[in-house]
Amino acid sequence: MNKSKTYLNEDYDVVVVGGGPAGLMAAGIAAGSGARVLIVEKNGELGKKLSITGGGRCNITNAETDIHKFLQNYGDAKKFLYSPFSKFGVTDTFIFFDKLGLPLVVEARKRAFPKTQNAKDVTRAMINFAKKNNVEFRLNTVLKRFLMESQADAQDKIIAIETNSGKIYAKHFVMATGGVSAPETGSDGSGFQVLKNAGYTIHKPTPNLVPLSSNAKWVRRLAGVSPSFMTARFKQYGRTHFKKTGKILFTHFGLSGPLIINSSSHVADMLKNGPVTVSIDLFPDTDHAMLDKRLVKLLDKHKNKLLKNILPELVGKKLSDELIFLSGLQQEIFAHSLTKEARKKLIHIMKDLQVPISGTMGMDRAIIADGGVDLSEIDFKTMQSKLHPNMHIVGDMLHINRPSGGYSLQLCWTTGFVAGKHIADKYEGGWLSIS
């Protein structure tokens, strides 16, 4: 085959498959060396998932600068991550985005967001970074398979990718096609299938960080309610398995919010053994007696008003309506008519609001799906594949579990950087443009 004659215009130093955060980082860093880099992206736009992260605000990383504490969040995978994080860690992420003109701010639980509070700004900044370093893009292009060349006394070498619109030859390849959560953003697992066909061990993905569904109508009526601080006890057959304090969001399908999402994999395990109930304490810092005093004071102050018009002072309008409903009280009851027994019942429900859980939501609602490429098949010093040394694998494709809070995107920045830098080190003549 006379490759150079037939495919002269198609030859790249590097082809990065997937234009998400990990792919954009790897491409920009590799291209900074002067290498000719192409991003192949299935969608008609880049960074579709990145643009919806963090509820539209993008929790870009977590400002825990102690590497040991930071890596605790990746479970068993942490031992693989010391090396890449020593090359590009949390502080580097802060500096990197600052140089891109997108300074970060740190919020509760050390979660870092762009100061502009807009995830689309992060996508724009990453695309500009890639463009400034002369990365080329081919959109609406889907990877179908790798073309290999057998090597005498060496592992097979990937020489090209076959896409829906033809073959693209390159010297190096970066796989950054993401996991399987939120498939409508493009990461539908097709990259895993391509790797599987090329001999990789792929752990089956399951939805991991995911909201919980409830069939209770009253829960769905609370959609949009999000009291900021409460305790949830996750119960089965009357026994509390674990409890967490934080933020819960009621939705039209059940429960979401950081507290719920970070409990979901544990709940998924519990659901295998039977029904699960989440018992929510709306006032974790106030005991029954204190809460009763607050309620009595409120009722005394507004004796001649309807309960439904004064209870919102304590819990907001929507929750107030549902608490009255769950207590079996009439919506039109006056404050002065509330019996001690009815008051106690109301207090009891505020301290033990029982939400029946019917399941976990599917991949379409998942933030992260676990599963992916077996870590033993990657050299984490470089993010190179051990099966095909001219391929690197980064981001959500890796079989690494982690909680919410910026840990997924940091994994993309870190692994994307390390792969890009390893390739860049092979080229000379360019200069990296970050600012």
Ligand X SMILES: Cc1cc2nc3c(=O)[nH]c(=O)nc-3n(C[C@H](O)[C@H](O)[C@H](O)COP(=O)(O)OP(=O)(O)OC[C@H]3O[C@@H](n4cnc5c(N)ncnc54)[C@H](O)[C@@H]3O)c2cc1C
H-state helical runs in 311-359: 312-315, 317-326, 340-351
Interface positions, 371-400, toward ligand X (CB under 6 A): 395-396
Q: Which of 14, 15, 16, 22 binds ligand X (CB under 6 A)?
A: 22
Least spacing, CB of residue 184 vs ligand X, in Å: 9
Identify the DSSP state of 383.
T
Nearest residue (CB) to ligand X, 335 versus 411: 411
Note whether 41 binds ligand X by CB under 6 A. yes
Instruction: Please tell me the distance from the alpha carbon of residue 78 to that of residue 106, in angstroms, as a whole number.
Output: 24
Contact residue for ligand X among 116, 155, 190, 337 (CB under 6 A)? 190
- What are the tokens at 25? 């980082």
208 part of the interface to ligand X, by CB under 6 A: no
Pick one of 42, 171, 235, 422: the residue that binds ligand X (CB under 6 A). 42
By CB under 6 A, name the one of 33, 51, 73, 187 that touches ligand X.
187
Which of 84, 183, 186, 403 contacts ligand X by CB under 6 A? 186
For residues 411 and 399, give the distance between their C-alpha atoms in angstroms, rounded to a whole number.
12
Kindly give the residue spans of alpha helices, DSSP state H, lying in 210-339: 217-221, 258-261, 264-271, 288-301, 307-310, 312-315, 317-326
Closest CA to 410 of 16, 21, 119, 19: 21
Closest CB to ligand X among residues 49, 171: 49
Of 295 and 395, nearer to ligand X (C-beta) is 395
CA distance readout (Å), 344 to 286, 338, 354 = 14, 10, 16
Exposure of 17 in the CB half-sphere (CA atoms within 13 A)? 31
Would you say 283 or 407 has its CB closer to ligand X? 407
For residue 171, give the 3-state DSSP assignment.
Answer: strand
**How is residue 33 written in tokens?**
């060396």
Closest distance to ligand X from the beta carbon of 188 (Å): 6
- 156 and 148 Cβ atoms separated by less than 8 Å: yes
What is the nearest approach in angstroms of ligand X to the Cβ of residue 64?
Answer: 13
- Contact between 177 and ligand X by CB under 6 A: the answer reads yes
Neighbours of 362 (CB within 10 A): 13
Does residue 15 belong to the site contacting ligand X (CB under 6 A)? no
CA 159 to chain centre: 33
Judge contact between 409 and 110, C-beta under 8 A. Answer: no
**At closest approach, how far in Å is the CB of 313 from ligand X?**
33
Size of the site for ligand X (CB under 6 A): 39
- Give CA–CA dist 136/227, Å, rounded: 46
Q: Is 21 among the residues that bind ligand X (CB under 6 A)?
A: yes
**CA neighbor of 422 nearest in space, from 6, 3, 30:** 30
Of 55 and 275, the one with the shorter C-beta distance to ligand X is 55
Draw the binding track, 257-286, toward ligand X (x: CB under 6 A; -: no contact): ------------------------------
- For residues 310 and 391, which CB has a smaller minimum distance to ligand X in the complex? 391
Bridge partners of 255? 212, 250
Binding residue for ligand X (CB under 6 A) from 142, 210, 291, 347? 142
Residues in 55-114 at the binding interface with ligand X, rule: CB under 6 A = 58-59
Under DSSP, is residue 60 helix (H, G, I), strand (E, B) or coil?
coil
For residue 329, what are its two tokens?
């009280």
Shortest approach of ligand X to residue 63 CB, angstroms? 13
What is the closest distance, in whole angstroms, from the C-beta atom of residue 189 to ligand X in the complex?
8
Interface contacts to ligand X, rule CB under 6 A? 17-23, 40-43, 48-50, 52-54, 58-59, 142-143, 176-178, 181-182, 186-187, 190-191, 367-368, 395-396, 406-409, 412
